[in-house]
Amino acid sequence: MNRVVIATILALPLVAASTFAQARGSGPADQATAADTQSVENHIITVSRSGESHAKPDLGILIMSIRSSSPIADEAVAQNGQKAAATEVALAKLGLAPADYQISSVTFAQAGAGLPHFPGQNEIAAYDATQYVYVFFGAADLSDVGKLTQKTAAVIEALRKAGAVPASSGPPYVLMPAAAQGTLIIYTIKDPAQYEHEALQVAISRARDAAQEIATGAGVQITGLRNVQSGYLAGNVVPRSGASPLEGLRYRWFTTKSDELQIIANATLEYDFK
């Protein structure tokens, strides 16, 4: 079997083959190259192209965490429960309703997880109980940077007094995105369907045009579309997994920029030719 690879560019990891796949972030240092590949094999032209769309974030999310450690699991949970209750009181005093924030369920880990153990050291010396606190800022807040900064500072100080700390300062087992290290607020869009559709249409159009160019250059004729695969590509921040502070959020796309969120789609088209 002869296979002719016409062009290959470093592929960006595919998160999933469905529209539920996710992309995050917009840090230039973490920007990956889009997946553009094409090949000809067994009278089939296969072309992959990426497409992008851009949206203005309409939701800011302040991420803090509350953590407690104890040799007894119940005590760690109880301590975290007290901090969570204090957090709710502090946010209520600032005029925030329950819909304006979210406190995640408790997760457990061995204290010092990810760190080396000495010979003879007990496997579990203590338990860490962790919950994440998400405070939401709507489009009205995002429209005035000065007011957003003041409001954010007031919330951070209130949460600090209640026992919360920045999520990015967590222990080693917490997976905070590299582009978001030291960042307290990330941004997203509540309803990305329109922008996902736009990105996917751009990807399909580019793949279709590229396939036609290949056929024209090779002096062959496309006779039909055999298969289409589409999905979304990982963006600029590490994927959501493990104990990531992003795990408790229902939103699919994240960025550290307040003015732009990029969505990248991928489409692979297979054409028969003669």
Alpha carbons 141 and 212: distance in angstroms, whole number: 47
CB atoms within 10 A of CB 145: 11
- Does residue 92 share a domain with residue 8? no
pTM for the whole structure: 0.74
Both tokens assigned to 142: 């995002």
Are 47 and 96 in a shared domain?
Answer: no
Number of folded domains that form the chain: 2
- 53 CB-side CA count, 13 A: 20
* 172 shares a domain with 206: no
Residues 213 and 155 in one domain: no
> 180 and 196, same structural domain?
no
Expressed as residue numbers, the domain containing 18 is 4-57+190-273
Same structural domain, 142 and 80 = yes
User: Using one digit for the tens of pLDDT, what is the confidence trace for 42-93?
Assistant: 899 999 999 999 999 999 999 999 999 898 888 999 999 999 999 999 999 9
pLDDT digits (tens, 9 = 90+) for 187-239: 999 999 999 999 999 999 999 999 999 999 999 999 999 999 998 875 444 44
- Regarding whether 194 and 182 lie in a shared domain, the answer is no
Tens of pLDDT, residue by residue over 10-42, are: 222 333 333 223 333 333 333 334 468 888 888
Which of the listed residues 155, 188, 221 is the one where a domain comes to its end? 188
User: What CATH number should be reported for the domain holding residue 43?
Assistant: 3.30.110.170
Q: Which residue has the higher pLDDT, 257 or 242?
A: 257
Give the span between the Cα atoms of 138 and 29, in whole angstroms.
27
